[in-house]
Amino acid sequence: MQDVSDASTQALPINQRRLANAIRVLAMDAVQKANSGHPGAPMGMADIAEVVWRKYLKHNPANPKWANRDRFVLSNGHGSMLIYALLHLTGYELSIEDLKNFRQLHSKTPGHPELGYTPGVETTTGPLGQGIANAVGFAIAEKTLAAQFNTADFEVIDHNTFCFLGDGCLMEGISHEVCSLAGTLKLGKLVAFYDDNGISIDGEVEGWFSDDTAARFESYGWHVQKIDGHSAKQIDAATEQALQISDKPSLIMCRTLIGAGSPNKQGSESSHGAPLGDDEITLTRDSIAWADEPFVIPEDIYEAWDAKVKGDVLEKNWDAEFAAYAAAEPEKAAELKRRLSGDLPSDFASEADAYIAQVQSDAPTIATRKASQNAITEFAPKLPQLLGGSADLAGSNLTLWPGAVGIQDDAAGNYVYYGVREFGMTGIANGIALHGGFIPYVATFLVFMEYAHNAVRMSALMRQHVIHVYTHDSIGLGEDGPTHQPIEQITALRLIPNLHTWRPCDATEAAVAWKCALVDQSRPHALIFSRQGLKVQARSAEQVAQIERGGYVLVEPNDIAVGIILATGSEVQLAVDAAAKLADSGVHVRVVSMPCTEKFLEQSSDYRESVLPSSLRVRVAVEAAETAYWYRFVGLDGAVVGMTTFGESAPAADLFEYFGITADAVVEAIKAQL
């Protein structure tokens, strides 16, 4: 591996070296001006990026959302100046002033790539490893969408996913989960470039990362190559070969120098996470023969990098192909356009409402996980963009439906068997949602949401339309014991901004939760379902309609209410029973079902006051989960009946009695406040 500052050993022709050096100077200048950031990765991967972006990446800077563009993911997101430099140089709406504002408040160049801030950034990549998970999701979406819509004459969906990643990504466990699945699914249009520089923030990684990475990926079923990451010839040849492999994802292991070009800091952790310093930057400029001032790029460099003309031609050619496709396959083309736009069928909401009314009328006593399966069975045929999946618990989560077809057997299917990969599954689902054309739903037991928590957070941070299905929602799952009984997880989900968390009390509320999760595409949704059977509550049509508001009055006493009982899920029936017992003793209370607290809190103050009048201070909340969250609704003088410890292994009924989550306990909690 050559020192890129040594002209005598340069592997790149001088023009390409200069083009790559434009990335290096922009990266080190921006980090220096911000006085924070990571110059090492952009400088080390500049030569790889030059080849991939100038020769292979299919994109249009004038339209970052062109449907058939290649997807580029910078999984080692701390190296964000790499992608910002690339976007600027190739002609996206990212000016030199934007680069000068690197890591500043409300700039288009935040410290890590953030979806929605920067044109051309496909996903938010901060936590290491999640970028490669998103990339696997992009590749699944491309392959499945292509299988569903392409014909023998037209390949209107045909693009690659390129992912840059580093040592840190490969150390993270999520990379094992998703790369294993990518190999099994034979995602031939996924190409990952590994920045194999042997350096992390703490120093040389050989003391804590000695994996045989090539053997690891070969065992996954990947095509693996090892190259000099500073040789344009080798990068070009390896990329070309990777794109010829149709039945395996590709890993190109690029041996590089972190901070390449810096005479005193390349190859060292000192270039990883801190500015090089003015003196070292001066030496670097001399070393790479770059005479221009900071943030000055010569016009000939800009001209060589500019991708706008090429991108315009690529998109216009595709538009022409799509027009021919639409003429030959009008129904397919119309459906594909609808899917890519994210629109639901115009009659979906009304049909969903009719189904909800029927469920209320039929009043089945079933577990809400079964009610969820029934809702999927009803809605999925109407929404072919649904792409379901479960982390090896389909028979328990009840996420399979009669029309489910696994994509491992049929690329045009609608279901992913994720295996025991909760974190990887969720990161992949984020990538599927980001790609477009699908609404992914993924499932596991609620307690194992913990494994996926950071990816759920990323769903919410990016406001991606992912539906997270969690079953076995409380100590009510019973004999599997405290390792499987969620206590704090519901609260953890409710505290994530932009996420709506639903815990329905019966089949009707479960159907409404699914409808809301499907219709509201502005955010992710968590749907939490029971293992045990729950009977449908009596409701008027008005009350059924109010479920969508997140909280509503389920039971209004015949006399003036002196208090309120709030509940969710299986505990709603317990609240109703407690209210009946109180009425028998002359104490009248209102019962409020609150399946989605976040949705309720978004309602008008008038509506919230109508449900929870401020004059009614006697309040008890009951939920078989941790108690602290509910004090925001009951006040410091109210009471919460719930869990303050972990669970135990026993039949569900015994556990509710043992932990004091009973109608009698709710009665006593109300009376204690009178």
- Residues acting as catalytic residues: 422
Show the DSSP H helices in 172-307 as ranges: 173-184, 213-220, 232-244, 278-287, 299-305
Among residues 435, 464, 467, which one has the least CA distance to residue 146? 435
Token digits of residue 283: 């030496």
Q: What is the dihedral of CA 143, 144, 149, 155, to 10 degrees?
A: 0
SS (H, E, C) 389-420: EECCCHHHHCCCCCCCCECCCCCCCCEEECCC
Token digits of residue 674: 């009178």
Token digits of residue 20: 């790559």
- Give the three-state DSSP class for 228: strand
Token digits of residue 335: 């459906």
Q: For helices 348-362 and 368-379, what crossing angle results, to 10°?
A: 140
Token digits of residue 509: 């509320």
Q: Which residues pair with 623 in a beta bridge?
A: none
Residue 42 amino acid letter: P
Q: Tokens 């129904």 belong to which residue?
A: 331
d(CA 235, CA 670): 71
Q: What is the dihedral of CA 103, 106, 112, 114, to 10 degrees?
A: -170
d(CA 354, CA 186): 41
Token digits of residue 569: 């899920």
Q: Could you tell me which residues come within 8 angstroms of residue 606 by beta carbon, excluding any fewer than 6 positions away?
A: none
- Give the three-state DSSP class for 520: coil
Q: Tokens 């009008």 belong to which residue?
A: 330
The answer to whether the beta carbons of residues 113 and 41 sit under 8 Å apart is no
d(CA 618, CA 630): 14
d(CA 231, CA 111): 29
Largest CA distance in the chain: 95
d(CA 612, CA 27): 55
Q: Tokens 């949401």 belong to which residue?
A: 449
Token digits of residue 159: 């693009």
Helices and strands counted in the chain (H then E): 27, 20
The answer to whether the beta carbons of residues 268 and 43 sit under 8 Å apart is no
- Give the three-state DSSP class for 362: helix
The answer to whether the beta carbons of residues 422 and 129 sit under 8 Å apart is no
Phi-psi region of 486 (alpha: psi -120 to 50; beta: other; left: phi over 0): beta
Helix, strand and coil content of the chain, in percent to the nearest 5, comes to: 45, 15, 40
Positive or negative: CA dihedral 472, 475, 481, 484: positive
Consecutive H or E run containing 441: strand 439-445
- Give the three-state DSSP class for 161: strand
- Give the three-state DSSP class for 454: helix
The CA R_g of the chain, rounded to the nearest whole Å, is 28
